[in-house]
Structure 1
Amino acid sequence: MLQVLRQLLLPFSLVYGLIVFIRNKFYDWGWFKSYSFNLPIISVGNLEVGGSGKTPMVEYLIKLLKNDHKLATLSRGYGRKTKGFLWVKPNDDASNTGDEPLQMAQKFKNIGVAVCENRVAGIKKIRQTHNLILMDDAYQHRAVKPGLSLLLFNYHQINKPRFLLPAGNYRETFSGRKRAQVLIASKCPQNLSAEERQSIKNILAPYPHQKLFFSALAYASSLNNVFTAEKLPKELITDDWHVLLLTGIAKPEPLYQNLLSYTPNIAHHRYADHHQFSDKNIRKLVEAFDAIASDKKIIITTEKDAVRLKTDKFAELRALPVYQWPIEVVFLFNEGEAFNHLIKEYAEIN
């Protein structure tokens, strides 16, 4: 059925692709204005819609750079109800800021986190008080010419067909990767073989001006209670535990597979990326939790989803064991030092 639907949508993808091609050419030829700024700007993006690990990569960069620079992040704040430029505060509501910016504001208290659908206007505002900007999900935002572009490719999608929207998930053609200076194969298994590494390199075919890195996601040793400071060591989750997994992210499969290595008793309450949880969604979750007879039961979610649960309208969740499982980026094949050097050198020279 899905294959038939893709075929029906292919004519629309051709129209979409033509529009994107013309738009990019207008920027390449200078017919559309692309702004450069006299401060280091690092863009993190992808060619597909969601699920490549952009937010963990931005958090990696924050940890790497925050002690040496007055740093701010900038994104559009996907799904927010507000408009225009906004500094995001830790106690804001996700519906007004977007979930990912709020997640960063809550995790990193000493950086600036801003949202603005007009990235040029946002940068002009941020540069008054900060000297380095990380732009999240901005690869297709050609109005800004960043000094360094990181382009992520989800390991699990690299070998799949590259259909453009709406028949597929690609925002622009694969050739668009040429604008980036750094390519990253993200979400790789930590035991990625040298043979598969070479196969991925052949597929991504980096240009001479590009560096290619391989990264994975590592799950923290402890889960954090969403509403308190309590931590739960992951070793305590054994095969007799029952897990209710709540996700509203693009690709939750890696988290689900990770949980399967601890217990087979998983009930997945899955919603679309950036889903704004409703009273009905939470009531269904609570009823499912109450229906589990065992005392060994827990609700697990992602950090991104957790920020949308921290609201008074979901107060009933505060009495339940609701935990988020932090993740972080790790580089494979001992490439972390080289990646860090590349990023730091760019930030310092510029």
Structure 2
Amino acid sequence: MKTKILLMFVLCFLMGGMKPAWTATIIVSPGQKIQDAINSATHGDVIEVTAGTYMENINFKGKQITVKSTAGAAMTIIDGGGTARVVTFNSGEQREAILEGFTIRNGVGQKLDGLDYGFGGGILCRGSSPIIKGNIIEQNQADPSSSGLFGLGGGICIYEGSYPEISGNTIRNNKAESGAGIYIFTTNDIEETSTVQVLIQNNIIASNNAQLGGAIFICGNSHPRIFSNVISDNNQIAGDEIYVCSDSSAEIVNPTTTTTTVEPTIIELTFFKAILGYRQVILQWKTESEKDNAGFNIYRAEAEGGEYIKINDALIPAKGTATQGAGYEFIDKNVLNRKTYWYKLEDIDINGVSTLHGPVKVTPRIIHRLFQ
């Protein structure tokens, strides 16, 4: 009788009707490594990462596990340090492998198979089909060149037999030669079906820069399904924001293409100003109310109309509420006297949706004081 019960349990598990009771939840906090948790995890485990900035580059190593944040993408950052790719799926991960709720930033793509250019600055999927959802994927570049406009897939590179689900992400300010937001090269021999497909849905893909396909580049006999995405302000030297090669096709449904900010956060800003100083700029702002606000970022450009680069290391936490505002100050000491700078303020809500304010302009100078 015991043998029959055990056999029934095993059959139910294999048929997907039961979840193994021995799966674990692993908590990762600042000062610990996400990769250490992945190394110790087994199939079905959940890794929960608390708010903070994690300076590392992680690889799922073929494990069908969930790695997710507990505080949301705006508050939980995996920073690649500008030296290597941030997240890698290259060992046959499937839909049970899930990455959810992080800011993925400062990644640089790495070479594959001796090719002389980089693949996937933020995330690489090679021979893998995970779920990537609810993340902010920003400020990554596909190749270590100084301009960043080389390599394939600044934000996400989907390569060689990969069919991930990319949903609910904000993919912005990434760079590549092709596919600054997303690059797709599946090398599939037949058109994708409902069971084998790249699915890209409900994402915001904005302000990425490439030579071809600022938002998405599709080639290699690829046939992705692209549903209900917002495509906004992506830049490319030639072609459209979504570039489809002649050997590929795409099912594009309900796209929104816009050049304006999408779904602004509900922040009532009283003022945002820059105060000049000696070799520093003091940025101050005040809000009247902050509904669902997670915090702020500061961006700086060194030329009017130039590229804005984020200068704060971590999100500046929100202090206001839906009914009460707050005052803030940030000091930029990495400036030169007599050089003009432009600043923008970004607020980010708890869902990762952001709004930019500004710019404000200021020129630090030598301050002469008269003492009596």
TM-score using structure 1 length: 0.27
From the two aligned structures, give the one with the greater helix fraction. Answer: 1
Give the number of the structure whose residues are more often strand, by fraction: 2
Computing the radius of gyration over CA atoms, which structure comes out larger, 1 or 2? 2
TM-score norm. by structure 2 comes to 0.26
